[in-house]
Amino acid sequence: MTFLHQKFLLSCLFMSIISQLSKVSSRGPIYKPPSVEQLTNRFPSTPFSGKMSTFFGASNIHMKNNGSYADIILDKKTGSGLVSKDRYHHGFFSAAIKLPMGDTSGVVLAFYMSNSDVFPNNHDEIDFELLGHEKRRQWVLQTNIYGNGSVKTGREEKFYLWFDPTQEFHQYSMLWNTHHIVFLVDNIPIREVIYNQVSSSVYPSKPMSLYTTIWDGSQWATHGGKYPVNYKYAPFVASLGELKAEGCLMSKTNSTSPGSCLKSSTLLTSDPVEGDEYIKLTSQQTAGLKWARSKHMFYSYCKDTSRYKVLPPECRA
């Protein structure tokens, strides 16, 4: 083999490697996630059919494996969603989700807590929103919270995922207690909202239901509606599994005051996620949080000075 031939082959190999790297890293560098505690392993999975009921779009909800898994579907006729049969004062809530493939611009998959049905003018929310994108597989993850009807101030943060969410199931989890709210993806904390004097007035505090929905967010989800849902690619199917909803249940006959917690029909003296191990992040989780925010967060309301001439108080604390 001549030197020129060898040089040509090496050049071709190099270009091939670069091409492959550009395909898998079109959203930027690919970073290996750190090792963290598997918080989801502490809580049992429960069937969707036992914990959830139809919120809307019954014809587009398909239970599988005796209700352990569920598909929720968006098509031109309707979206769909599930809502928990119980309300919770606090708890740990998680689901494994596999998102629709292909052109999903304008499609929104939400996994969230809310009490807007009971407190329409003073409601609380803790939100995961997965936003479809005009580029294939480029889903964006948005988190948000509202407390006591504080909807005039959006507290969004947005992240690029470090994996293709359409190929496999990935876990999206929320830990909520009186100390902090933690958003986790595959057990890696990506956001922590700490309860303190500054955040207390906008901290979710009233009992909430758990929801998961898929719907058409064309008007706002991608660049203000520039790329609406293209129903040529419908149906958009999101698959759900490994539901975990463990926490302090609101009594069916009691008021919204926490008092004692109900869990599996057994009266408890405290919330199941109020123990010492849930008060603050471990050093490993803190390292994971720093990794996610430094490598994958691309928007935070606390840095949006064009939107807020005066930043919300927690941003200035």
Q: Token digits for 81?
A: 């969603």
Of the listed 125, 157, 192, 274, which one is catalytic? 125
Among 160, 151, 163, 153, smallest CA distance to 131 is for: 160
Q: How far apart are alpha carbons 118 and 138 in whole angstroms?
A: 35
Contacts of residue 235, Cβ cutoff 8 Å, sequence gap at least 6: 60, 73, 74, 75
Q: Token digits for 168?
A: 């496999």
- What's the half-sphere exposure (Cβ side, CA atoms, 13 Å) at 280? 5
134 is known as an active-site residue: no
How long is the chain? 317
Q: How far apart are alpha carbons 16 and 298 in whole angstroms?
A: 29
Q: Which residues are identified as catalytic?
A: 125, 129
